[in-house]
A and B are shown apart, each in its own frame.
Chain A
Amino acid sequence: GAGVSQSPRYKVAKRGQDVALRCDPISGHVSLFWYQQALGQGPEFLTYFQNEAQLDKSGLPSDRFFAERPEGSVSTLKIQRTQQEDSAVYLCASSSEKPLEQYFGPGTRLTVT
């Protein structure tokens, strides 16, 4: 079946612009995760949803970052007033009721100029 998809794959934003990154999880997966991967680093946890409930947002780096999953399926990560340090690959992952096996999407590479 189809894996996790993310769009856009690449996004260039000018500093100060708002961006929205989309994640389509594997159908039926209740858990959804967002990670941020800086160049040359491993992914870092941002936030976790179980269905439409955001159960953990402890990894969001600032209040400019906001994530939602209103119908328990598609999720959007929004970054307001982007800064250069926001440049990274944003990875989405989903899992079934066993969150230990997370399936990752290809990521969105965000470049803030």
Chain B
Amino acid sequence: AQSVAQPEDQVNVAEGNPLTVKCTYSVSGNPYLFWYVQYPNRGLQFLLKYITGDNLVKGSYGFEAEFNKSQTSFHLKKPSALVSDSALYFCAVSLPGAGSYQLTFGKGTKLSVIP
């Protein structure tokens, strides 16, 4: 079985400062990893994914994430936070193969960027 942990329910960061939202995973095998963002009353929006190759993945809106196999982590980062980045962020994992569509999500981390 696969699982995702987002250890922080909430992250507060000042506008202009770098931000990190943490994610660790547990799977048997090599994972596919994803980050989604959810704004109020809107659906989840895809930010980025790691499938294979370069461990540093760049995505939408200036976000990036680094796959660390030894630490089983996939933390989301941005060099300079914007107030508009305030939202709920979800990390997700799936396994390669026929069932790769089945995403397992973490519980989410609420990011608040303070002006």
Question: Measuring CB to CB, which residues of chain A are less than 8 angstroms from any residue of chain B?
Answer: 3-4, 31, 33, 40-45, 48, 56, 59, 91, 93, 95, 99-107
Contact of B44 among A43, A44, A95, A100 (CB under 8 A): A43
C-beta contact mask, B41-77 vs A, less than 8 Å → 1, else 0?
1111110010100000000000000000000000000
> Contacts A41-B107, A42-B90, A100-B49 hold; do A91 and B102 have CB atoms under 8 A apart?
no
Number of contact residues on B: which range applies? 20 to 34
Which B residues are closer than 8 A to A by beta carbons?
A: 4, 32, 34, 36, 41-46, 49, 51, 90, 92, 94, 99-108
A-B contact count (CB 8 A): 59
Which single member of A48, A104, A105 contacts B101 (CB below 8 Å)? A48
Task: List 23 A–B pairs whose Cβ atoms lie within 8 Å, in order of A's numbering.
Answer: A41-B108, A42-B106, A43-B44, A43-B90, A44-B105, A45-B102, A45-B104, A48-B101, A56-B101, A59-B102, A91-B43, A91-B44, A93-B44, A95-B101, A100-B49, A100-B51, A100-B94, A100-B100, A101-B49, A102-B101, A103-B46, A104-B36, A106-B42
